[in-house]
Amino acid sequence: MDWFFDLPIGWMLLVILAATYTLTAGIYLVITRLAVGERTRAFKAISPGMLPPLAVVFALLVGFLSAQVWSDADRAGAAVNHEASALRAAVLLADEFPGEIATHLRELIRGHIQTAVRDEWPAMARHGVTLTIVPVNLAEALRLALSVTPHTAGQVIAQRELVVALQNALEARRQRIVLSGSSLNAVKWGALLVQAALMLLAIAMVHCDNPVTNRIILGIFATGTAAAVLLIAAHSHPFSGAISVRPTLLLQVMPEAGHGA
């Protein structure tokens, strides 16, 4: 289903609406055809009072799933922000050291950002990045920072803060990679869709003797269901789709080649 989550919002909405209306039309036609004779009385015997509890359960499922996907998206954005802030701090601290060391540190940070944007971001969209992949440039930058021999009190402080900044960048990268694999599993999607189908079925049965009213209510609930599914689906993959976390901040803090901070 990766193709679906990569769709623009407009196309995703059209796919969801088409699927929802198709399901709704199928339920309506089946119930209308079955609602004859004794079955009509059986359908009408279903209390309309069961609709509010079903609607409440559906709303709770939408709320729980929305909270999860929004939380994952916010945490993914925060991880990228922290990584960018840590890398910017590392670039600024690198200037406290001799020119060759500072230049090398900036080049390593630049290489890390380029690799993240060029390779990691597309792979994260496909859930293809794991923590076993070592960020070579960032690891080399940390090794270089630890190997520097400070000569002044300022360099001692700068070295300590530089190591902390690089470690923070590594931790932020780890968090965004972990979050890139987050998504709603089939059980959660199934529970939501089954609950929506049961709600449509109950509406169709309760109003089976009034086709016009039945179509109106089914259409309203189907549209609301499609909106809820769109809301969840559009945010369910933090690093893919139209609403996803971009590497914009990383690009903004990337040091220029051959220049200082």
pLDDT digits (tens, 9 = 90+) for 189-240: 999 999 999 999 999 999 888 889 999 999 999 999 999 999 999 998 999 8
Grouping H, G, I as helix, E, B as strand and the rest as coil, residue 152 is coil
Q: What is the pLDDT of residues 95-137, one digit of tens each?
A: 888 889 999 999 999 999 999 999 999 999 888 888 888 899 9
What's the pLDDT at 45? 83
Q: How far apart are the first and last CA of the chain?
A: 43
Better-scored residue on pLDDT, 22 or 7: 22
Instruction: Among 50-54, 155-159, 182-186, 255-259, name the one with the lowest average pLDDT.
Output: 255-259
The structure's pTM equals 0.84
Per-residue tokens: 87 = 């890398």
Count other C-beta atoms under 10 Å from residue 85's C-beta: 16
Residues 6+ apart with CB under 8 A from 173: 79, 83, 116, 135, 138
> What is d(CA 75, CA 85) in angstroms, rounded to the nearest whole number?
15
> What is d(CA 107, CA 152) in angstroms, rounded to the nearest whole number?
24
Whether 260 has a pLDDT exceeding 60, the answer reads: no
Going through 53-181 in order, the beta strands assigned E by DSSP cover: none
Cβ atoms of residues 243 and 232 within 8 Å: no
Residues 6+ apart with CB under 8 A from 23: 197, 200, 222
Whole-number percent of the chain with pLDDT over 70: 98
Crossing angle of the two packed helices 99-115 and 51-94, in degrees rounded to 10: 160
Residues 6+ apart with CB under 8 A from 82: 168, 171, 172, 175
What's the pLDDT at 258? 58
In the predicted model, what is the mean pLDDT of residues 157-180?
94
> What is d(CA 169, CA 109) in angstroms, rounded to the nearest whole number?
10
Whether 174 has a pLDDT exceeding 80, the answer reads: yes
Cβ atoms of residues 200 and 218 within 8 Å: yes
Instruction: Among 30-44, 48-62, 86-100, 138-152, name the one with the lowest average pLDDT.
Output: 30-44
> What is d(CA 170, CA 168) in angstroms, rounded to the nearest whole number?
5
Q: Alpha helices, DSSP H only, in 181-245?
A: 186-206, 211-235
CA dihedral 76, 79, 80, 81 (to 10 degrees): 120
In the predicted model, what is the mean pLDDT of residues 21-33?
94
> What is d(CA 203, CA 35) in angstroms, rounded to the nearest whole number?
13
